[in-house]
Structure 1
Amino acid sequence: MRGLLGDAPGGSPAPVPPHRPIRSPGSGWSCLPPPPEASTPGHTPVRPSLSSTSSSLPSLVPLSCPRTGYFFRTASHRIIAPNRINRGRGVCMMSTSWRDKQQPSLINFIAAFLAANSYRLNFLSISPDFIFNNGGLSVAFVFETNWDCQNEDAVFSRVNRLKRQFKNLYVVVAVPTREQNESFNQSYHKYDIELGCPTFVPVNDPEMGFEKIAKIAHARGVCKQQDIISTMKIEREQAVQCMDAFLRVLTSIPGIDNHDANALAQAVGSIEAIAKASKGFILENTDLSMDKAETVVRFFRDPQYYLSPKIN
């Protein structure tokens, strides 16, 4: 990034003091550095060279500030500070072939969005359109910025090929019109895509689509760092075990089967709540017969009944 940002006058990197997050009413961005101050008298700032930047980023205009170093103003007049770029949260790799097919305004939006969120952007020749590396986890994305039903076969063939190469793959599709949305839904079912393998994310426009991409990559990285997925698996196993124990208790009541036990669980709740429920409440909120409801009430409340031996 040194070629992009340049050095401060004197040859050494300009010091960057901390800045507090603020919100610009019109920009929609949540974290901005302080605005550039007026240049001091007699000070001639050195403009950094943009020779190393891509031709697809024409609207990154260099500015300078004696106190905070160099900034870059985007087409939407958003200021990007160097320390927001250098302190990387992760790396975003963009396919050069995908980049060359897009409008420069979209590429500029992506560059500004990534810089504002502390991602480093690299242009590489890769199979997916994007690969995010965040928190030690790589997530690949296919990004269709404008759904075309005439190109559906190529899109789904590519998705099927990539899902065998990448464990974490998402497909983001921009469907700005109702007709495009209906066409995409028909194609999705036509090609018999397994639900969640990979996950498809329809959006209204390309900008929203890339925001979704960044959020998904960030969320997966946080889950990886905090081992949230393993914790969820353990909690799910514990919940299943608790439900199995719950069903075993209720089905031990003579005449109560799994269907009746599930109906009681959904309508009444815990075993304690079932033990306190009246026969009328059980009849009103479940499909149990009067005999079964009476059996449940007796099982929990009549000592002579629940202490007597039972043969199922």
Structure 2
Amino acid sequence: MKFFSQIAHGCGLPAGGVALPHMPLGWSVPSSAVCTIRSRAAAELRAAPLLHGGTASSRRLQMGSSSHSAAWTSLPPPRPEPAPAPGRGVCMMSTSWRDKQHPDLVNFIAAFLAANSYRLNFLSISPDFIINNGGLSVAFIFETSWDCENEAAVFSRVNTLKRQFKNLYVVVAVPTVEQIESFNQSYFRYDMELGCPTFVPVNDPEMGFEKMLKIAHARGVCKQQDISSTMKNEREQAVQCMDAFLQVVTSIPGIDNHDANMLAQAIGSIEAIAKAPKSLILESTDLSTDKAETVVRFFRDRQYYLSPKIN
């Protein structure tokens, strides 16, 4: 008690004690003990390492505002959950087509679309499927089993829908040899134009739907990357180059468009034709001896190709 009294006198506190509710009756803790505990806690806080870039003074303020040491310990905020990945596209299935199919096939299509991040909608539409990918919609007629007795209705529907949809494909499941032969005969019997629309024969319906999704995905990627425009420009450049080639080669006396095309396919460029010997031209093309000799003279005989010529 003498020790506590000396500490109390040094701190300027009364010599009496402070009773705590959990102490036994008749016992008390001097007020100086509370002062000593607080002083030691403050010293420990000052000696503790800085956390999260804070200063000692800011932590003393935090300690004073709370009676718990956890109050001044700052925790990093929780990380936000990543947003779900956007879907690749939308698949619209005809309700009339769905009602005619086996439930197992419909369930397979739904699961396959979900696994590839496509959204499935059931709508009343003219084609069996419309798949949108990359901002491009592709329509499909899906015959899950070829029936020769229903061929007239199938090709009549194809002729109707190809006038309504620019991007139309016809997927036909022909699992047997008899069905393949029947489909081929029907295709030519109804005078279908090659590639308008494109027919895709498959072995089974599951493979057929996978082909449909791959076609729609490829068309969507081509549109996003503008591959179609690039290929169109390349074709136009090739045609222009071929026109210039024909104009030069047909300027040789006695050489027509057929001969020029033969030289282009067999020999190659104008430079290659100019260097080709007579024997190579005769072996590689159907040009006569006189025409082959004329071609060689035109490119090698300076007096000949500079002289005026009348075709």
TM-score by length of structure 2 reads: 0.71
SS in 2 for 1:229: helix
Does residue 165 (structure 1) correspond to residue 195 (structure 2)? The answer is no
1:90 paired residue number = 89
1:127 paired residue number = 126
Q: CA offset at residue 16 of structure 1? A: 6.3
1:232 paired residue number = 231
**Matched residue type, 1:98:** W
Counting only pairs closer than 5 Å after superposition, residues 106-255 of structure 1 correspond to structure 2 as 106-255=105-254
Computed over aligned residues only, the root mean square deviation of the Cα atoms, in angstroms, reads 1.6
Structure 2: how far apart are the matches of 1:174 and 1:269?
A: 43
SS in 1 for 2:139: strand
1:306 paired residue number = 305
Q: Bigger CA drift: 157-166 or 251-260?
A: 157-166
**Matched residue type, 1:143:** F
Q: Bigger CA drift: 109-118 or 146-155?
A: 109-118
Q: CA offset at residue 15 of structure 1? A: 4.8
Structure 1: how far apart are the matches of 2:196 and 2:88?
A: 27
Query: Which sections of structure 1, spanning at least 5 residues, go unmatched?
Result: 1-13, 18-82
Q: Bigger CA drift: 270-279 or 117-126?
A: 117-126
Structure 1: how far apart are the matches of 2:162 and 2:257?
A: 39
Structure 1: how far apart are the matches of 2:214 and 2:287?
A: 47
2:280 paired residue number = 281
1:72 paired residue number = none
Per-residue deviation, residues 139-171 of structure 1 (Å, max 9, x unmatched): 110000000111112211222222222121111
Q: Aligned pair in 2 of structure 1 residues 113, 16: CA closer, same or farther (>3 Å)? A: farther
TM-score by length of structure 1 reads: 0.71
2:266 paired residue number = 267
SS in 2 for 1:182: helix
Structure 2: how far apart are the matches of 1:259 and 1:158?
A: 42
2:294 paired residue number = 295
Query: Which sections of structure 2, spanning at least 5 residues, go unmatched?
Result: 1-79
Structure 1: how far apart are the matches of 2:147 and 2:201?
A: 13
Structure 1: how far apart are the matches of 2:154 and 2:285?
A: 48
Per-residue deviation, residues 43-75 of structure 1 (Å, max 9, x unmatched): xxxxxxxxxxxxxxxxxxxxxxxxxxxxxxxxx
**Matched residue type, 1:232:** M
SS in 2 for 1:194: coil
Q: CA offset at residue 105 of structure 1? A: 2.1
Structure 1: how far apart are the matches of 2:108 and 2:82?
A: 24
Larger Rg: 2
Counting only pairs closer than 5 Å after superposition, residues 22-37 of structure 1 correspond to structure 2 as none
SS in 1 for 2:92: strand
**Matched residue type, 2:154:** V
Q: CA offset at residue 108 of structure 1? A: 2.1
SS in 2 for 1:141: strand
SS in 1 for 2:239: helix
Structure 1: how far apart are the matches of 2:259 and 2:121?
A: 58
Structure 1 moving runs of 4+ over 6 Å: none
Q: CA offset at residue 122 of structure 1? A: 1.0
- Report the identity percentage: 85
How many residue pairs are counted as aligned between the two chains?
A: 232
SS in 2 for 1:176: coil
SS in 2 for 1:120: strand
2:19 paired residue number = none
Structure number with higher helix proportion: 2
Structure 2: how far apart are the matches of 1:163 and 1:284?
A: 47
SS in 2 for 1:292: helix
